[in-house]
Amino acid sequence: MKRLSKLVREQSKNPNAIAYAAMAVAGLTFPGIAQFATGGNADYLVSLAADAGVFVLLAIGLNVVVGFAGLLDLGYAAFFAIGSYTYGMLASQQLISSPLHTALHVPFWIALVLGMFIAAGAGALLGAPTLRLRGDYLAIVTLGFGEIVPRFFRNMREWTSGVNGISALDVPTLPFWITGPWANTELAIEQNFRFVTFNATAWYVLIVILIVASVIGVNNLHGSRLGRAWMAVREDETAAAAMGVNTVNTKLLAFAIGASFSGFAGAFYGAKLSLVSPESFGFVVSITILSMVVLGGMGNIPGAMVGALLLYAVLYKFLPDAPLQAASLAHSLGLDWLNTVVPDGWPGLGEFVSRLKFIIFGLILVTIMLVRPQGLLPSRLRAQELKRGVHDEPVTTVP
Amino acid sequence: MNTSPQPILSLQGVIKRFGGLTAVDQVSFDVPKGEVFSLIGPNGAGKTTLFNCITGMHVPTAGKVVFEGRDIAGTKPYRTAQLGIARTFQNIRLFEYMSAVDNVKVGEHVRMKAKLWDAMFRTPFARREEKRVTERAMEFLRFVGIERHADKYARNLAYGQQRRLEIARALATEPHLLLLDEPAAGFTPQEKVELMALVNQIISRGITVFLIEHDMKVVMEVSQRIVVLDHGEKIAEGVPTEVRNNPRVIEAYLGKSA
């Protein structure tokens, strides 16, 4: 107990520890609180939170590539697509209509791991010829890769049904599962449990477990020999090589490991939606994930997670709700004239706000970056430096 | 000649051309084991290019670079570091946004054995190794006298401390041969004295030091043998007193007398 209180006292000023603690508490209590607050109608919210979790996983993975190793990857959604399609093809009736003529039904848990390895392999495959490039040039190649992969899946009609995508994916199963008040039911042990789409809580629990495992793994990597090699390559590739770091292998590993997270995020995403379509993995997705990482605090794991949660909430909850909220706010303030539609003129407040959605989104991004250019939760060392000031800047003017 | 029978490094007719420019032209010399060997010459003489040829950053156009009995010309830089050649840079190249101790730990990278599996699951082996590496890193920082600044970002260290940190980082790779590229540049006389003491301490650890330096006082005092380069060619070689009185060296440095 004493040790615990000491730990709390020590960590109470560490923003990372606070962020982890807050996310852990929120993550554990969210379904229960949401169900209670909405009187048992929170399935939609919990499902949305599970989808947000997918982006948290993606941000954690991209943070390895961009934040740790300093490789600007503009095509990260490609690996997400590869993970999703891996599950889509291996766990549905899809391959019956393919030249293979047999449907594969690989269990979800195995497909999850497979998706991870296949995405990692794709990361290494992309990395091998391109990682000799530096900076902007690498960004351009990854951008191209991000465009090619979804197109590839769309054009491989025989295997992937093209634009229609793959639907009716297998439902993951478990021998048993515990349900309770947090999922709006009695406390009970359910045998032969199936992750059906409308069981939001089950998906939510699954993604939280995946995130926790990922955070532990990435955190270990960050403090390891490999993590230091990543940072060294980011800071100065030539010096890193001179110190005996095999820079090509190090960068390849960053790409592969970063990609592996989007691999299993993709498998989860496909299974939950029970649909995989080439339209879900466009350039916008890559950029959104990158924004999450940058906005949250590049190179810092909880930073990337906070960034992902915040941006996801803005994009998929706040912005879609904004028109209705604005209209009802105007109504309750007695400003109903704002909601009246004038033909060929004022479209009504709701519609007006709806048209401004992406301007609002842009304003939010710009404001955050202006107020906190280092990200919402920058890496610990950098924050310390900012606090301590720059009184000990190096003397750079040397004859 | 007082060279020991088995030189640690031996350059044999090394040529490096960049397009039409010959930066290093037919340079041959032996670096004896366990001594301080210096390379001097006016600006643009090709000293750093020669260093780059030794560490694998440049591939020599022709010639052999024999390190401990094997030709390493054209070997990748990370391999030469593994083989036991470490270097510092003329214009300091630290990992700026990493703490001083982490900089040194990157130097130890090449002697570490933890695999991806160990790193991801923080196995007992990885933990033990990490602990040992941290302790050793602190030792190296103490050795160069900046252990008080272990947790500072490398970029926030003072200039002299940065130079020392670079040496500590290079030593952490456990080299047999340490290449120092103008380590005294921008130093005060006091700092130069300290640097010379540090070089002697490095030698006493059994590491051969190969030095590029402009400051004649430092070079003459600290080194056992000197090679002089001018316009990419070797113009003199010998013990400090010989080199100091060599007319070609005086000419290269001060210009031809009328």
Q: Looking at this predicted complex, what is its ipTM?
A: 0.91
How close B92 comes to chain A (CA, Å)?
Answer: 10
Q: Do B107 and A243 touch (CB under 8 A)?
A: yes
Establish if A19 belongs to a structural domain: no
Q: Which residues 359-388 of chain A have a CB within 8 Å of chain B? A: 381-382, 385
Gap from B157 CA to chain A (nearest CA, Å): 6
- A109-118, A174-183, A231-240, A293-302: least confident range: A174-183
Q: How confident is the model at residue A84 (pLDDT cuts 50, 70, 90)?
A: very high
Confidence (pLDDT) at B44: 86
Provide the chain B residues 67-106 that lie in CB contact (below 8 A) with chain A: 76-78, 81-82, 86-87, 89, 93-99, 102, 105-106
CA distance A301 to chain B (A): 15
Lowest mean pLDDT segment, chosen from A160-169, A178-187, B93-102, B247-256: A178-187
> Is A17 inside a domain boundary?
no
Among A235, A244, A395, beta carbon nearest to B78: A244
Q: A236 vs B126: CB contact, 8 Å cut-off? A: no
Is A321 touching B (CB cutoff 8 A)? no
pLDDT at A329 over 70: yes
Residue in B153, B119, B120, B148 with CA at minimum distance from that of residue B133: B119
Mean pLDDT, chain B, rounded, equals 91
Check if A238 contacts B (Cβ < 8 Å).
Answer: yes
- From B74's Cα to the closest Cα of chain A, the distance in A is 14
Strand partners, A276: A166
What pTM did the predictor assign? 0.89
More confident residue, B255 or B210: B210
Query: Tens of pLDDT along B50-99?
Result: 999 999 999 999 999 999 999 999 899 999 999 999 999 999 999 998 99
* Residue A286: predicted pLDDT: 94
Mean pLDDT of the A218-240 span: 93
Confidence of residue A201 (pLDDT cuts 50, 70, 90): confident
Q: Domain for residue A180, yes or no?
A: yes
Domain-located, residue A326: yes
Q: What is the pLDDT of residue B3?
A: 47
Query: Which pLDDT score is estimated for B258?
Result: 54
**Residue A251: per-residue pLDDT:** 92
- Considering only the beta carbons, identify the residue of B157, B173, B185 that sits closest to A394: B157
Please give, rounded to a whole number of angstroms, the shortest distance from the CA of B2 to a CA of chain A.
31
Specify the pLDDT at position A392.
44
pLDDT in tens, B190-244: 999 999 999 999 999 999 999 998 888 889 889 999 999 999 999 999 999 999 8
- The type of residue at A250 is T
Report the chain A residue with the minimal C-alpha distance to residue B110: A244
- pLDDT higher than 60, residue B129: yes
The half-sphere exposure of A314 on its side-chain side, counting CA atoms within 13 A, is 19
Cβ separation of A239 and B94 shorter than 8 Å?
yes
Q: Are the C-beta atoms of residues A261 and A304 closer than 8 Å to each other?
A: no
Is A245 part of the contact surface with chain B (CB cutoff 8 Å)? yes
**More confident site: A304 or A38:** A304
Mean pLDDT confidence for B239-256: 86
Chain B residues in contact with A390 by the CB 8 A cut-off are 156
Chain A contact probe: residue of B79, B95, B121 with most A CBs at under 10 A: B95
Closest CA to A264 of A59, A160, A119: A119
Q: Which domain holds residue A308?
A: 25-388
In chain B, which residue's Cα lies nearest the Cα of A393? B156
Q: Is the pLDDT assigned to residue B32 strictly greater than 90? A: yes
- State the nearest Cα–Cα gap between A217 and chain B, in angstroms: 5
Place of tokens 């080194």: B223
- Name the domain count of chain A: 1
- If pLDDT is split at 50, 70 and 90, which confidence band does A393 have? very low
- Angstrom distance (rounded) from CA A397 to CA A399: 7
DSSP state letters, chain B: ----SS-SEEEEEEEEEETTEEEEEEEEEEE-TTSEEEEE-STTSSHHHHHHHHHTSS--SEEEEEETTEE-TT--HHHHHHHTEEE--SS----TTSBHHHHHHHHHGGG----HHHHHHT-HHHHHHHHHHHHHHHHHHHHHT-GGGTTSBGGGS-HHHHHHHHHHHHHHT--SEEEEESTTTT--HHHHHHHHHHHHHHHHTT-EEEEE-S-HHHHHHH-SEEEEEETTEEEEEESHHHHHH-HHHHHHHH----
Q: Do B158 and A240 touch (CB under 8 A)?
A: no
CB contact under 8 A, B78 and A393: no
| CB-CB neighbors (< 8 A) of B157 in chain A | 392, 394
Q: What is the mean pLDDT of chain A?
A: 86
* CB of A242 closer than 8 Å to CB of B77: yes
> pLDDT tens digits, residue range A372-387?
888 888 876 555 544 4
Per the domain annotation, does A58 fall within a domain?
A: yes
Q: How confident is the model at residue B4 (pLDDT cuts 50, 70, 90)?
A: low
pLDDT per position as a tens digit, B33-49 = 999 999 998 888 899 99
What distance lies between CA B212 and its chain's CA centroid? Answer: 8
* CA-closest candidate to residue A300, choices A217, A234, A379, A384: A379
Residue A215 binned pLDDT confidence (cut-offs 50, 70, 90):
very high
Question: Is residue A3 in some structural domain?
Answer: no
| Exposure string for A72-111, b = 16+ CB within 10 A, e = fewer | bbbbbbbbbbbbbbbbbbbbbebbeebeeeebbebebeeb
The answer to whether residue A10 is domain-embedded is: no
In Å, what is the CA distance from A278 to each residue of A52, A141, B155? 20, 20, 45
* A304 belongs to a structural domain: yes
Measured between beta carbons, the chain B residues lying within 8 angstroms of A232 are: 95, 98, 106, 109
Q: Which residues of B are less than 8 Å from A300 in CB distance?
A: none
CA-based end-to-end distance of chain B:
34
Distance from CA of B153 to the nearest CA of A (A): 8
**What string of DSSP letters covers B232-250?**
TEEEEEESHHHHHH-HHHH
